[in-house]
Amino acid sequence: MKRTARTLTLLLAIAGLAGGCENMTTPQKGGLTGAALGSGIGMVAGGSFGQVVGAGLIGGAVGYLGGTAIQNSK
**Where would I find the H helices in the chain?**
2-19, 26-44, 49-72
What is the phi/psi pair of residue 34, to 5°? -60, -40
pLDDT tens, 23-36? Answer: 888 898 899 889 98
For the chain, the structural domain boundaries read 2-72
Express as a percent the part of the chain with pLDDT over 90: 36
Rounded to an integer, what distance in angstroms lies between the CA atom of residue 73 and that of residue 68?
9
Given a cut of 90, whether residue 7 has pLDDT beyond it is no
46: left (phi over 0), alpha (psi -120 to 50) or beta: left
Model pLDDT, residue 1: 58
DSSP state of 74: -
pTM: 0.68
